[in-house]
Structure 1
Amino acid sequence: MSSPLFVRLSSSYFWYFSILGLVVPFLPVFLDGNGFSSIEIGEILAIFTATKIIGPSLWAIIADKSGKQLAVIRLGALLTCICFAMLFFVETYWPMTFALAMFSLFWTAILPQLEVLTLTSIKRSPKIYARVRLWGSIGFIVLAIISGELLDTFGSETFTIIGFIILICLYLSTLFVKQPRLGASSQVKTSRIIDKLLTKGFIMFFIAGLLLQASFGPYNSFFALYLRDLEYPAFAAGLYISIGVIAEIGIFIIAGRLYQLFGAIWLISISMFISAIRWYLTGSFAGSAWILLIVQLMHAASFGLYHSASIQYLQQHFAANQQNRGQAIYIGGVYGVGGALGAYIAGVLWQGGIGATQAFNYAAIVALIGAIVTLLMKEKHTLEVFK
């Protein structure tokens, strides 16, 4: 893989996950600073996340039929930037919800196509993919730490300025990426995907992933506010989240080797069992800085290991001209439905922080159920289509 290609792909991942490093920890802080209650925050985040149900599939159809992932990526990045700018002008519940929903709708167009474009460019090498993808984790860390300090110093309204700058950089980075050359047949022909979706293994994979993302609800929605309530210093949220992402980077570096040793299905199962333990410890023992440190290191499994293994599973399961649709269905259902349900339920259970332990215990149970479901998955060559 040439160095210029590596730099171009890595920079897009860096800026894409930089906005995630701002939004995941600090969007709830931004909304809290604007006077929204925990239930309203849960509802807004649920709607924000639910756009992943529709967005990826709509964009994937265009990308699969045209074979031009890059055009979709650039258009998505531009529209994302424009929609995010609406946050400069809105304050009340429904306008804020609309602005965030439209931002998310176009933002979801980017990652599935970027994943497929990257894997095509690097000839599906797990080793190179892991190295490109870890720059996304680096971007997340950098912005989580910087954003935490800036929001603490200048107030929650700084959130909008930081996000807008990041999204401009993301759009500019896509202008330097090149569309990999594909044969004409690969660009225009698509194949029937329903049989792949109705295999027992994929259905179990889908349900387990949905449950895992639902279990992230309390963490994604309220972790920064949770640490504030536990009287951690203002920089703690960005620091602990960054520790988790550093652990995630370590997993990405060795993910290719782990995949060769254990296979995707075993890695998915292991990551979900560890996630269940993580959420229980977070809800019951987060008052201890050392236990919280150990818990955050588990992010290597609950996100990094799961994500790497899931991408490899999807690459193995779907044909080349089904990849965009497969990625879109996965992200739309697993991250969209699962994430929206998790955010909404977390908002109901949180009760201004009083229900924090209850919310994380719910997350632990949901992740454990998902882990059990993964035990019903089978390898690709033994999958049978439901009749």
Structure 2
Amino acid sequence: MSSLFVKSSNTYFWYFAVHGLVIPFLALFLNYRGFSSLVIGELLAIYTASRIIGPTVWAIFADKTGKQLFVIRLGAFLAFACFSLLFWVQGYWPIAFALAMFSLFWTAILPQLEVMTNRAVKRSPKIYARIRLWGSLGFFVASVVAGEIIDVFSPEAFTWLGFIILLSLWGATLLLKQPRASIQSLVNNSSIFNKIFSKTFFWFFISGLLLQISFGPFYTFFALYLRDLDYPSYAVGLFLGVSVFAEIGIFLILGTLFKYFSLKSLLIVNLGFSAIRWFITGNFAESAWILGLAQCLHAFSFGMYHSVSIQYLQQHFNHNQQNRGQAIYIAGVYGIGGAIGAFVAGIYWQEGVGAQTAYELATYSAIIAIVFACFIPSKSTVKKR
């Protein structure tokens, strides 16, 4: 188990380190290349929309063959190769192509990694949370280090940082081992449609979609937002660091929370704190300590929400449906929701003039998500393992 823990944690570290680089600094990189906020929103929408196709296609292959590790390694290598195109390409469409292809393969990794990890730890929420927190550490280290390096050199350093992180991710996947799957799980590939079109999954899916739409201004323009508010360049890493430490804290107590609270109640709490977070960010960001408090709510809007989602999907889909179920969820919620959020944020941002409006829309999106989540049937707490 110790070897499994180290290898899985290492992979999560580098996978989410990519997040720690891309989320805060991709828009800064594109702005440095001369693109306006409207065009940046379009590029990030294209980049995010590519998640709609890749995860589902690879998950079907993984479910049919049981070769999750092959998909993970291939996805990591091709993501690394496509990201490297940014060293040479210029202009709207070449950059859009490079980002879309990079995202297409990179986002194919997580559904298989989640299934492999949960299967290896026998779906223990406690052990999973401990492994997953290393992803949060990867996000923190990447965002802080990248912020300092970009400040010293220029936003063009973004490409070299991505090159190093993605190469490390590919190397980490080469150390993983494919967990043994039962013969039944490889043979009994039952239809997934009845699970997807159930009312329970519909309400869960729509609430998650709206939550991801609400992340649009933050994922797309947070670094530029702080720059426009005259924060020092290192503030991006510090604020993201606050959010990551809060996220790690929630991971440490998730095992206990899952014992006593239903997934529905935890989901509603997450959505409520998300709405508060966007309201504070859009109206009180001039105050560093208030903005820091809002960043602490990342523990709920991302950390706890992600874990709740994984536990819900583990419960909702059968053993042999896990790859397809998670891929469909990620493709729809993170792909469609993320693309809509980035595109809308780009429309309303207007070089920072419409920042408050963008965050108000994000707040409304999270509030509406709460309404949909209330229709999810109440279920028991996650079983103790």
Band the TM-score falls in, shorter-chain normalisation? over 0.9
Match of 1:59 in 2: 58
Instruction: Quote how far apart the aligned CAs of 1:380 are.
Output: 5.5
Q: Which runs of 5+ in 2 are unaligned?
A: 381-385
Q: Which runs of 5+ in 1 are unaligned?
A: 382-387
Match of 1:145 in 2: 144
| Contact 2:264/2:379 (<8 A) preserved | no
Instruction: Quote how far apart the aligned CAs of 1:186 are.
Output: 1.3
Q: What is the TM-score with the length of structure 2 in the denominator?
A: 0.98
| Contact 1:66/1:188 (<8 A) preserved | no
Instruction: Quote how far apart the aligned CAs of 1:91 are.
Output: 1.6
User: 2:38 aligns to what SS in structure 1?
Assistant: helix
Match of 2:159 in 1: 160
Match of 1:359 in 2: 358
User: 2:90 aligns to what SS in structure 1?
Assistant: coil
Which amino acid is the alignment partner of residue 226 of structure 2? L
CA-to-aligned-CA distance 1:349-386 (integer Å, 9 cap, x gap): 000000000000000000000011100100359xxxxx
User: 1:36 aligns to what SS in structure 2?
Assistant: coil
| Contact 1:201/1:380 (<8 A) preserved | no
Q: How far, CA to CA, are the matches of 2:70 and 2:222 in structure 1?
A: 36
Q: How far, CA to CA, are the matches of 2:349 and 2:104 in structure 1?
A: 26
| RMSD (Å), alpha carbons | 0.9
Q: How far, CA to CA, are the matches of 1:219 and 1:241 in structure 2?
A: 11
Match of 1:234 in 2: 233
Instruction: Quote how far apart the aligned CAs of 1:210 are.
Output: 0.2
CA-to-aligned-CA distance 1:301-335 (integer Å, 9 cap, x gap): 10011111111011010000000010001000000
Match of 1:384 in 2: none
Q: How far, CA to CA, are the matches of 1:242 and 1:348 in structure 2?
A: 28
Match of 1:385 in 2: none
Instruction: Quote how far apart the aligned CAs of 1:80 are.
Output: 0.6
Equivalent runs, 1:218-297 vs 2, <5 Å: 218-297=217-296
CA-to-aligned-CA distance 1:232-261 (integer Å, 9 cap, x gap): 000001110111011011111111211111
| Contact 1:265/1:313 (<8 A) preserved | no
Which amino acid is the alignment partner of residue 187 of structure 1? L
Which amino acid is the alignment partner of residue 114 of structure 2? E
Q: How far, CA to CA, are the matches of 2:174 and 2:252 in structure 1?
A: 27
Dislocated runs of 4+, deviation >6 Å: none
Instruction: Quote how far apart the aligned CAs of 1:188 are.
Output: 3.6
Equivalent runs, 1:304-315 vs 2, <5 Å: 304-315=303-314
User: 1:234 aligns to what SS in structure 2?
Assistant: coil
Which amino acid is the alignment partner of residue 131 of structure 1? R
User: 2:256 aligns to what SS in structure 1?
Assistant: helix
Q: How far, CA to CA, are the matches of 1:203 and 1:212 in structure 2?
A: 14
Q: How far, CA to CA, are the matches of 1:188 and 1:18 in structure 2?
A: 36
Q: How far, CA to CA, are the matches of 2:153 and 2:117 in structure 1?
A: 37
User: 1:177 aligns to what SS in structure 2?
Assistant: coil
Equivalent runs, 1:1-387 vs 2, <5 Å: 2-379=1-378
CA-to-aligned-CA distance 1:202-245 (integer Å, 9 cap, x gap): 10000000000000000000011000000000000111011101
| Contact 1:64/1:188 (<8 A) preserved | no
CA-to-aligned-CA distance 1:119-178 (integer Å, 9 cap, x gap): 011100000000000000000000100000000111011000010111111111111110
CA-to-aligned-CA distance 1:17-36 (integer Å, 9 cap, x gap): 01110000000000001000
| Contact 1:201/1:379 (<8 A) preserved | no
User: 1:379 aligns to what SS in structure 2?
Assistant: coil
| Aligned pairs, number | 380
Q: How far, CA to CA, are the matches of 1:237 and 1:176 in structure 2?
A: 32
What percent of counterpart residues are identical?
A: 59
Q: 1:130 to 1:314 in 2, by over 3 A?
A: same
